[in-house]
Structure 1
């Protein structure tokens, strides 16, 4: 009995983590397949490459069309969809109550200067070979 106890214990110590790891992988694979089957048009998703977009067409069994920008639709394998994400929320301007807002300036006062928003700054092209 003593001769079999140590090898049996050693096999159990090695086998239990292997079995538990396999079960976890199977569960994750099933959840991923379920996600890909339940995608519908309008869902916001992230691909495995980190690209965010909105599902545009789900009519194919193996591919899915994702709109990545207004009017730009690309075709992806369903397996490339990693997860659903919360939809983008447009930031609306806050609405002020009439009672709590400060009095507006009268027509006789000068208007306040409006700050111009700086656009993207573009670096000049590199000129190779000139010194």
Structure 2
């Protein structure tokens, strides 16, 4: 009888643990995929917040240029994410409408 009282609680806790572990596995797989897809020339963030450009890659380490001529070696596990150039895409979109009125006035 006492087991029936705790059964719903045990089921809820089990479901929570299942979904939490599933989310963790997806995050870990995304990190592994990132580390496997790194290439020379990629701009990255490290886990400590440093930004740089990859200049060399081995199985476990990456060489990161943090300033012109300054190259440091980091473990791949320290790479948090790749920097994407979304800002440049937004700038190109902003310039296109501005160019259209100028071309009409030149005609």
Q: The residue matched to 2:40 in structure 1 has which SS?
A: coil
Say yes or no: does 1:38 pair with 2:59: no
Between the aligned partners of 2:27 and 2:46, the Cα distance in structure 1 is 16
User: Tell me, which stretches of 5 or more residues in structure 2 are unaligned?
Assistant: 96-101
TM-score normalized with structure 1 length: 0.62
Distance 2:9 2:28 in 1: 30
TM-score normalised by L of structure 2 = 0.75
> Which has more helix, going by share of residues?
2
SS of the residue 1:23 aligns to? helix
Q: Does 1:57 align with 2:44?
A: no
Question: How well do the aligned residues superpose, as a CA RMSD in angstroms?
Answer: 2.3
Q: Which has the higher contact order (CA 8 A, sep 6+)?
A: 2
Structure 1 unaligned runs (5+)?
Answer: 101-131
Higher strand share: 2
Indicate the structure (1 or 2) with the bigger Cα radius of gyration.
Answer: 1
For residues 10 and 35 of structure 1, the distance between their equivalents in structure 2, rounded to whole angstroms, comes to 38
Deviation, 1:5, is: 3.5
